[in-house]
Amino acid sequence: MTIAIIGIGLIGGSLAITLKENGFTDHIIGVDINSKNIDKAYRR
Can you give the pLDDT at residue 40? Answer: 85
Return the axis-axis angle of helices 10-21 and 35-43, rounded to nearest 10°.
Answer: 20
How many Cα atoms within 13 Å fall on the side-chain side of residue 32?
18
pLDDT in tens, 3-44: 999 999 999 999 999 999 999 999 999 999 999 988 888 887
Can you give the pLDDT at residue 37? Answer: 87
